[in-house]
Amino acid sequence: MNNLLTELPENLTGEVFQTIIENKGVKIERITSLGQVTPAGEWYDQPQNEWVLLLQGRARLAFEDGREQSLQPGDHAWLPAHCRHRVSWTDPDQPTLWLAVHWPRPE
* Positions that interact with its own copies (CB under 8 A): 2-6, 20-21, 23-26, 28, 49, 51, 53, 55, 72-76, 78, 80, 99, 101, 103-106
State the nearest-atom distance from the C-beta of 69 to its own copies, in Å: 10
CB atoms inside a 10 Å sphere around CB 52 = 22
Say if residues 28 and 77 touch (Cβ distance below 8 Å): no
| Closer residue to its own copies (CB): 42 or 73 | 73
8-state DSSP, 57: S
State the nearest-atom distance from the C-beta of 48 to its own copies, in Å: 10
State the nearest-atom distance from the C-beta of 57 to its own copies, in Å: 13
| Closer residue to its own copies (CB): 21 or 40 | 21
Sign, Cα dihedral of 27, 61, 91, 56: negative
Closest Cα partner for 56 from 94, 7, 1, 27? Answer: 94
